[in-house]
Amino acid sequence: MTTAATPRTILAAADDAAIAVAAAHLAAGDLVAFPTETVYGLGGDATNGRAVAGIYAAKGRPSFNPLIVHLPSAEAAARFAVFDPRAARLAAAFWPGALTLVLPKRNDAGLSDLVTAGLGSVALRVPDHEVARALLQASGRPLAAPSANRSGHVSPTTAAHVAADLDGRIAMILDGGPTAVGLESTILDLTGPVARLLRHGGIDRAALEAVLGAPLDDTPVTDDVAPVAPGLLSSHYAPAARVRLDAAAPRPSEAFLGFGPLPAGVTGPAETLSATFDLTEAAANLFAALRRLDAAGAATIAVAPIPAHGLGEAINDRLRRAAAPREGGG
């Protein structure tokens, strides 16, 4: 599989020449990690079953988990799914951007069944990142792209994070600098009459409800509703350290992840998601901060309370997953 064929991973700044090389790798069924505005994605040709299987293998991801298909434009996306008027409105308002729409798959979509894990629906997104769109244009293929980390690890927001997890397992990593949003896309399921929020993410609920003109169904998605969103395992996004939530300050020997200025007298490894209580800055910093504190070696990372509004919903969702009991190293 891709892993065996690519003992070396090319790491390259994402200029035109590198994007052309990356597109050729994708056309050959090999895997390329690339930046999006949310997190780095691990891309493979969504029409090529071997490439999609390679994504699961490289990530060590359970294969019942469907992937998001990335496209350069809403027009390109219309080839793969049926857009009702709600979907068309949301696409017009938020694409390119951090919104993934789960829609009825078109019969002639031509996607590998592995991408959708055999479901009749497909998750589509148009990323808002120059490099991602240049790569999508150059490859001319729909790209399946989960976050470019080993399964169960924290999502990568820099090329170095990707390399730490996937070096030697994929053909190439395009370095486009740190990602701007820092959280994955918001996932909205439009296959039923009421729009359902499957995953909090880079676009907050209020913005979506304003365009839809109706409230979202946000009944929590748990592991039990497996056919709906099989990827939302509760112990996802786990650092190696334990995570203790809603901590005003660290206990002795804990690392600390703050929100706002750090409390006085903290001596262990500590940093703040945002010194100014800015939720957008906090989202962009979250995964890199967890990785740094994890690398500092504390057994537990204590995390300050984060407000539950706006992007705070998505940040708290990721933190709860990071703090969830682990099953066998997920």
Which residue of the chain is nearest Mg ion when measured via CB?
147
Tell me which of Mg ion, ligand TXA, none is bound by residue 145, counting a contact when its beta carbon lies within the kind-specific cut-off of 5 to 8 angstroms: ligand TXA
CA distance 198 to 228: 8
Cα angle value 230/118/227 (rounded, 5°): 30
Q: Are 134 and 72 in contact (CB under 8 A)?
A: no
Measure the CA–CA gap between 97 and 117, rounded to whole angstroms: 24
Return d(Cα 258, Cα 277) in angstroms, integer.
10
Binding mask 234-273 for ligand TXA (x = CB under 6 A): ----------------------------------------
Evaluated on CA atoms 55, 61, 63, 66, the torsion sign reads: negative
Q: Tell me which residue has its CB nearest to ligand TXA.
A: 231
**CA-closest candidate to residue 266, choices 275, 278, 282, 254:** 254
Q: How far is the CB of 91 from ligand TXA (least distance, A)?
A: 15
Distance CA 78, CA 224 (A): 31
Q: Are strands 32-34 and 41-45 parallel, antiparallel or unpaired?
A: antiparallel
Based on the shown chain and the rule CB under 5 A, indicate whether residue 147 belongs to the binding site for Mg ion. yes
- For residues 40 to 59, the per-residue mask of contacts with ligand TXA, x marking binding by CB under 6 A and - elsewhere, is -x------------------
Token digits for 297?
């070696």
Q: Per the structure block, which two tokens stand in for 217? A: 């169904």
Q: Indicate whether 139 belongs to the interface with ligand TXA (CB under 6 A).
A: no
User: Of ligand TXA, Mg ion, none, which one does residue 102 interact with (CB within 5 to 8 Å by kind)?
Assistant: ligand TXA
Residue 274 is a binding residue for ligand TXA (CB under 6 A)? no
Residue whose CB is less far from ligand TXA, 266 or 324:
324
* Stretch 143-162: interaction string toward ligand TXA, x if CB under 6 A: --xxx---------------
Residues that bind ligand TXA (CB under 6 A): 36, 38-39, 41, 65-68, 100, 102, 116, 119, 121-123, 125, 127, 145-147, 184-185, 187, 198-199, 228-232
